[in-house]
Amino acid sequence: MRGNRVILTVVFSLGFFVFARQEIIAKQKNSDIENIGNRNVNARQINFMSLEKEIALGRQLAQEVERTSKLLRDQEISEYVNRLGQNIVRNSDAKVPFVIKVLESDEINAMALPGGFFYVNSGLILAANEEAELAGVMAHEIAHVAARHGTEQYSKGQLFNIASIPLIFLGGPIGYGIRQAAGFLIPLQFLQFSRGAEREADFLGLQYLYKTGYDPTAYISFFEKVQAQDKKKPGLLAKAFSTHPPTEDRITKSQKEIQELLAERQEYVLNTSEFDHIKARLTAYENAKKPAVDDLKSQRPVLKRKTSGEVDDSDESTDSPVDQDRPKLTRKQANWKRN
């Protein structure tokens, strides 16, 4: 029994060493910004799933998302977000086509499923002050797909027989590691990644943002802004990016990588007039769903009080028989004094 424990410990130790070593090698190789799109960011990574099966899995997961969520029904906004995302995809290492849609959700978040099925919450668009901030979050999610983190994490679980789940596209029931997120069921492996995967997505996402022409510091400033808002309104950060919280360590590492790897440019894209237009349109779209305040006020009953000695001329001649027969409520004057 003791011998089995020793063997198991050795296996896990070797596995940890191998994965850590692979991460270091991959990071060194993936620092070549000019070679984005021609690099294999998945080299030396364990992944038992082909790209075809990964796309099939992502399609099944996407159906579950759309079955239980509400897609934004505004063509102009949806086309803008799709165009913005596809531009980043073209400047990434992704090997699969992307399907990008907008969900009606107040949560400040985005979600990229295996195989390139990508959902952006309307709350994220409204929370961004500039197009570069929105692009930064999208670049991070695109990096998760490019690095195939979902199926890679699943494969590692299979290798060690830990948290393995029957795959949906194989017809089996969803087994271990399922979480309820925003009203839909998605296997945990495909939404919540390891610290190493999050760091790699930060690392690659910053490169994709930079290659597309945006200021990479916008990615960091957006997370810092969310953290500042969380101090004023506790709980905001718990909802925003709940599956991948922007920790201080991640922010510090990202700042260092920008300084060391991304040569400063004379000009960056920070914002566009189209983003401002889309954000205003989305705000109007959200407001249109809520009852107008004036309409609510007009529907409320209004109580009028007569002032002392005031006579209503209409009482003498216009009261209907029904009004005359109605009981009248008289209030006894309170016999107390305010101390």
Domain ranges in the chain? 45-288
Q: How far apart are CA 20 and CA 147, in angstroms?
A: 16
pLDDT score for 18: 47
pLDDT category, 92, cuts 50, 70, 90?
very high
pLDDT score for 140: 96
Contact residues for 329 (Cβ-Cβ < 8 A; gap 6+): none
Decide if pLDDT at 185 tops 50. Answer: yes
Q: How far apart are CA 80 and CA 33, in angstroms?
A: 26
Closest CA to 123 of 101, 144, 102: 102
Q: What is the pLDDT of residues 255-300, one digit of tens each?
A: 999 999 999 999 999 999 999 999 999 999 999 887 654 555 555 5
Decide if pLDDT at 324 tops 50. Answer: no
Which has the higher per-residue pLDDT, 176 or 164?
Answer: 164
DSSP 60: H
pLDDT score for 107: 87
User: Cβ(120)–Cβ(138) under 8 Å?
Assistant: yes
Provide the 3-class DSSP secondary structure of residue 44: coil
DSSP 171: T
pLDDT category, 46, cuts 50, 70, 90?
confident
Closest CA to 94 of 56, 46, 57, 40: 40
Q: How far apart are CA 37 and CA 94, in angstroms?
A: 7
pLDDT category, 164, cuts 50, 70, 90?
very low
Mean pLDDT score, 186-210: 82
Task: Return the percentage of the chain with pLDDT > 90, whole number.
Answer: 46
Window from 118-127, 167-176, 286-295 with minimum mean pLDDT: 167-176
Using CB atoms within 10 Å of the CB of residue 3, give its burial: 0 to 12 exposed, 13 to 18 middle, 19+ buried.
exposed
pLDDT score for 278: 98
DSSP 147: T
Highest mean pLDDT pick, 60-69, 127-136, 179-188: 127-136
Mean pLDDT score, 17-24: 49
Q: How far apart are CA 110 and CA 98, in angstroms?
A: 14
Mean pLDDT score, 122-129: 95
Closest CA to 60 of 3, 117, 10: 117
pLDDT score for 163: 40
Q: How far apart are CA 138 and CA 91, in angstroms?
A: 12
Contact residues for 95 (Cβ-Cβ < 8 A; gap 6+): 51, 146
Window from 4-8, 211-215, 246-250 with minimum mean pLDDT: 4-8
Mean pLDDT over the full length of the chain = 76
pLDDT category, 31, cuts 50, 70, 90?
confident
Tokens 């980043």 correspond to 88
Task: Return the percentage of the chain with pLDDT > 70, whole number.
Answer: 61
Residues β-bridged to residue 111: 119
Tokens 């390139």 correspond to 116
pTM of this structure: 0.71
